[in-house]
Amino acid sequence: MSERRNQVIQLSRFGDPDGLEVVDAPLPTAGRGEVRVRVLASSLNYTEVLIRRHLYPQTMRLRPPFVMGYDVVGEIDQIGDGVRDFHIGDRVADMTVVGSNADYRTLRAGEVARVPAGVDAAQAATLILSWTTAYQLLHRAARVQRGQRVLVQGAAGAVGQALLVLGRLAGLELWGTARGEHAALVRELGATPIDYQREDFTRVLPGGFDVIVDGVGEDGYRRSYAALKRGGLLCAIGFSASVQARRRMLAIVMEIARLYLWRVLPGGKRARFYSVNVMRARHPTWFREDLERLFGLLAARAIRPRVAERISFDEVAEAHRRLEAGSLEGKLVLCPDPPLRRDRVPPQREPGPASVPGTPTILLCVSVRKFRARSNGSWSRPWSVLAISPLGVRLGPSVAPAERPLLPRKLTWIRNHRMSRKCQ
């Protein structure tokens, strides 16, 4: 049996995605009160763009190199001393902020949430940050009531989509700002779309909104505050407009601080900045309870989070560029082991009889589910050999990295063709 590797995505320097690199790290060992997991999925979030650019408050003290990865769904493969509630093979999830873009990592057993059997790991990973944030915004921070009118800024984003779905389940009347090309998506999720490039959302509802959730922060949240009804609540959750404008952290902090000064203004409007990490620190049990409630909804198929694409380690840097560019309608999810793109796959059949020497044979490297070739001509792992000859077709064992064939010249079209890896 080959020695297990622990590949990780390491940030070597703050700045652009070129600072992300795939490196081999020591295999961690579960300490007392910990479990080690084999990572099944780790979603990529816009928050990680902020971490990479050194604009995220919770990681301001970190200095490269460190391992990226805000959340994780994994399968326990080692249990530390003092852990009694879990077994080898259990699936768990956690929000880690950093450290989860890896093959293996350790987690504190007392903080993880259980993942129901049969739930897709990539879909489960999308719930950890974005959907838990959305759930807590509605039910912990805003404490919404059925029939209230809610505006979601950035409705086509990951948190925005979750807010629309959960808001509809809560019986809210919803509006969502997005680009014109995302209007159909916003409408499909149960909200009235507002094209922020052509419409003024402050004039959509003359009486004002009961609640506005703003992760964009255009104009320092002023227009969102103006669009509230008397007694309404503005929940600011991000500042993507400032990030795209490459504003400095001090200017962003000043905008957030101004939210709390607005509380003394007449009109009874309220404003606050919500942080999922601060909420978790104040109420540790809420996070696990809310996440497990969402997992229950996923298992019951009451919600269906969108996975735009399941990616491998060598695609993470490009995924960060796509996150910054926007326009994604689902989550990018790192699945370290390609067969786990749809979680576990059945064991492969035993290889049949060997090919007769001298018989012309074509060897293709195929995955259990789909073809996949890297842009540099090498093959992603793990693969099986499909031997095609006049004597028949044989599925052979997995090919070790050193034994994988180079991409044949006649198959260069595969190398140059970007294969679709969208969620099936």
Residue 203 lies in a domain: yes
In the structure encoding, which two tokens stand for residue 306, read together?
Answer: 């969108």
- As a whole-number percent, the residues of the chain with pLDDT over 70 amount to 74
Rounded mean pLDDT of 50-68? 93
* 114-146 confidence digits (pLDDT tens): 999 999 999 999 999 999 999 999 999 999 999
* Rounded distance between C-alpha atoms, residue 42 and residue 319, angstroms: 13
Q: In CATH, what number is assigned to the domain containing residue 251? A: 3.40.50.720
* CA–CA separation, 162 and 245 (whole Å): 26
Look at residue 400 and tell me if it is in a domain.
yes
Q: Are residues 161 and 217 in the same domain?
A: yes
Residue 7 has pLDDT above 50, yes or no: yes
Q: Do residues 107 and 292 make contact, with C-beta atoms less than 8 angstroms apart? A: no
Mean pLDDT on 47-64: 92
pTM of the shown model: 0.76
Whether residue 230 is contained in a domain is answered as yes
The answer as to whether 422 is a domain residue is no
Query: Pick from 407, 345, 352: which is nearest to 382 by CA?
Result: 345
- Give the residue from 345, 393, 392 showing the smallest Cα distance to 370: 345
Tell me the per-residue pLDDT of 274-331, one tens digit each, with 9 for 90 and over: 889 999 999 989 999 999 999 999 999 999 999 999 999 999 999 999 988 877 878 9
> 261 and 152 in one domain?
yes
Average of per-residue pLDDT values in the chain: 80
Q: Is the pLDDT of residue 84 over 90?
A: yes
Q: What is the pLDDT of residue 338?
A: 61
Q: Are residues 145 and 106 located together in one domain of the fold?
A: no
What is the pLDDT at residue 145? Answer: 97
For residue 192, the model assigns a pLDDT of 96
The pLDDT value recorded for residue 210 is 97
pLDDT at residue 299 in the model: 97
Is pLDDT of 414 > 50?
no
Residues 6 or more apart from 46 whose CB is under 8 A from it? 157, 158, 238, 240, 323
Q: What percent of the chain has pLDDT over 90?
A: 61
* 63 and 97 inside one domain: yes
Dihedral (Cα; 230, 234, 240, 246), 10-degree rounding: 70
Residue 372 scores a pLDDT above 80:
no
Helices (H), 108-182: 121-126, 132-136, 158-169
Pick the residue with more confidence: 341 or 370? 341
Q: Do residue 275 and residue 158 come from a single domain?
A: yes
Per-residue model confidence as pLDDT tens digits over 224-283: 999 999 999 999 887 665 566 566 667 667 776 676 677 767 778 998 888 899 999 999
Query: For residue 75, what is the domain's CATH number?
Result: 3.90.180.10
Residue 324 pLDDT: 86
User: What is the number of domains present in the chain?
Assistant: 3
Domain holding 33, by residue range, is 7-115+306-340
The one-character DSSP state at 129 is: I
d(CA 147, CA 144): 9
